[in-house]
Structure 1
Amino acid sequence: MVRRHELTHVEWEALSGLLPQSSWGRPRLDDRRVLNGIVWKLRTGSAWRDVPERYGSWTLYTRFRRWALDGTFTRMSAAVQAEKDAAGDIDWLVSVDSTVARAHQHAAGARKRGGVGGRSMCDHALGRSRGGLTTKIHLACDGRGRPLGFVLTGGNAADCTRFEDVMDTIRVRRAGPGRPRTRPDHVLDDKGYRSRKIRAYLRKRGIGHTMPERRDQRANRTRKRRDGGRPRAFDKQLYKKRNVVERCFNRLKQYHAIATRYDKTRESYQAAVTIASLLLWLNPL
């Protein structure tokens, strides 16, 4: 029987072959039981010590932490994306945006790694803003609202400063030989990304883009009259499709441990977002 917030049989079948196997030592706790406990924890936002005993004791956290640090969840996500791409199931009309997650008081207090003051907080993707400590998820999703890649920063980081970093996280392996696909067919952005540097970056890579013109840019062009040049083409109908990234954030934040950050370290919170993203790929809109 599949309980609430647990993996379905279809989800487990897709993920079971992607987990690392161990052929030595004592028999370990069942992987499905562990994954069910991790997903239950992310869905409910509960503390690790409050996860029901049927999922295991602290073995649950140690397994989650180990897989987070060795990149297991990232490799699982990459494998599922490659499988979807081989089946022609990725829409390469990519939308980029960000969302802010409020950090709970339990997210503070992680060991600082170098730097002083604000720089040490940024090591764990925590930034102080008007609402307190927050984390920002900069994300690129495909045309069907499934995450292709994301970057974590403090909540006070500007969106446009992380655009290239987000684009660099798009690496979908091909079924046969060759390099991973890293270039979308087209990119949809809001006004916050309309800078000369970003547009030059997209033109250099041969990526089409649609983004509205900011009010100050429009006023500056009008002020220059003929020297300001012609207004850039803007496809309103195509831009309407950018709503998929907002729907993607909405589905990610159905996981309470993502909508509110409880994890102290960057690696743990990044693993949580990766797991939720992975399940979005297995459950299309």
Structure 2
Amino acid sequence: MRKGEQLPWIVSDELWARIEPLLPRAERRYRHPGRKRLDDRKALCGILFVLYTAIPWEFLPQELGFGSGMTCWRRLRDWHQAGVWDRLHQTLLAELQAGEQLDWSKAVIDSSHVRAPQGGPTTGPSPVDRAKTGSKHHVITDGNGIPLAVSLTGGNRNDVLRLMPLLEAVPPVRGKVGKVGKVGKPRRRPAALYADRAYDHDCHRRSVREKHVTPVIARRGTAHGSGLGVHRWVVEQTIALLHWFRRLRIRWEIRDDIHEAFLILALAIICWRRLAR
């Protein structure tokens, strides 16, 4: 890390200003209040430390001042159940839209396998890893590679089965403010959807068209280098950024909701980096 550069798990004032209003308010008991609750910002730093380093929860260093690993785990669980990470992601997408950084002319979809040595829900024998237990991260991005939605499935699930659910999972992004001060209509559908041969099914092409989106999906049997890679590389880059978070390279969580919480939080961090450029 360069001298003077902030550690990635330290929450900046700018990011905290966007997260704090989304957190559910925790009321402390008047009688028998017990131990004072750990500051939310410190707990979030602990969560990010685990996301970036993949350290086991129980080994979270106490000298960092982020509380215990179990406390951070509970906050991650509770905030995910309260929809904090989804709302944070949507908030950042709206800011990117206001800054004209979202490219709705196309969206790109792809998936990636990760091992899941602990097993758990939404896992299965991976066809690309000698049938070892694994999961899949399905990602859809805009034309600039900004992640719009993510989905978690078992490693043996066919990619095409997540095509429509992932397209429908794109949240409505608040419109831009016009010259007269009015906010434009929210948008959630790209003009076109690009995908590789794994999504080559005519019935799904029809489903995409019914959403008023043009499917641009490679045909099976066609030669590689057909030109779609010019458009599809952005989602591959985003998946690489997603797996730059070490906790997402291997699925260590047995509970799928905890892994999904990490996934959505990572999407939000990627959007925040794009916004803070």
Match of 1:56 in 2: 67
SS at match of 1:165: helix
Residues 1:34 and 2:28 aligned together:
no
- Could you say which structure has the higher helix fraction? 1
Show structure 1 runs of 5+ residues with no match.
111-123, 220-233
Match of 1:241 in 2: 231
Letter in 1 for 2:51: L
Write the mapping of 1:10-49 to structure 2, written as runs, cut at 5 A: 10-25=14-29, 28-49=37-58
Residue 43 of structure 1, CA deviation: 0.9
Distance 1:190 1:34 in 2: 40
Match of 2:266 in 1: 276
SS at match of 1:67: helix
SS at match of 2:79: helix
SS at match of 1:20: coil
Distance 1:254 1:86 in 2: 27
Between 193-202 and 2-11, the greater mean CA deviation after superposition: 2-11
Q: 1:83 to 1:4 in 2, by over 3 A?
A: closer
Match of 1:169 in 2: 169
Residue 245 of structure 1, CA deviation: 0.4
Contact persistence 1:82–1:172 (CA under 8 A): no
Distance 2:100 2:183 in 1: 17
Distance 1:197 1:178 in 2: 33
Q: What is the aligned-residue RMSD (CA, Å)?
A: 2.5
Distance 2:124 2:259 in 1: 14
Match of 1:259 in 2: 249
Distance 1:59 1:203 in 2: 46
Match of 1:140 in 2: 140
Residue 17 of structure 1, CA deviation: 3.0
Distance 1:140 1:84 in 2: 16
Q: 1:178 to 1:125 in 2, by over 3 A?
A: farther
SS at match of 1:264: coil
Residue 273 of structure 1, CA deviation: 0.3
Match of 1:99 in 2: 112
Distance 2:187 2:101 in 1: 14
Letter in 2 for 1:3: L
Residue 20 of structure 1, CA deviation: 2.5
Residues 1:189 and 2:179 aligned together:
no
Q: Deviations over 1:190-249 (max 9, x none)?
A: 11112101211122222123222211xx69xxxxxxxxxxxxxx983x650210100001
Distance 1:205 1:3 in 2: 42
Match of 1:126 in 2: 123
Q: 1:235 to 1:203 in 2, by over 3 A?
A: farther
Q: 1:274 to 1:158 in 2, by over 3 A?
A: same
SS at match of 1:17: helix
SS at match of 1:261: coil
Distance 2:168 2:184 in 1: 17
Q: Deviations over 1:22-55 (max 9, x none)?
A: 3544553222211111011011111111112121
Contact persistence 1:85–1:172 (CA under 8 A): no
2:80 corresponds, among 68, 74, 86, to 68
Contact persistence 1:81–1:172 (CA under 8 A): no
Q: Say how many residue pairs are matched.
A: 252
Distance 1:196 1:35 in 2: 45
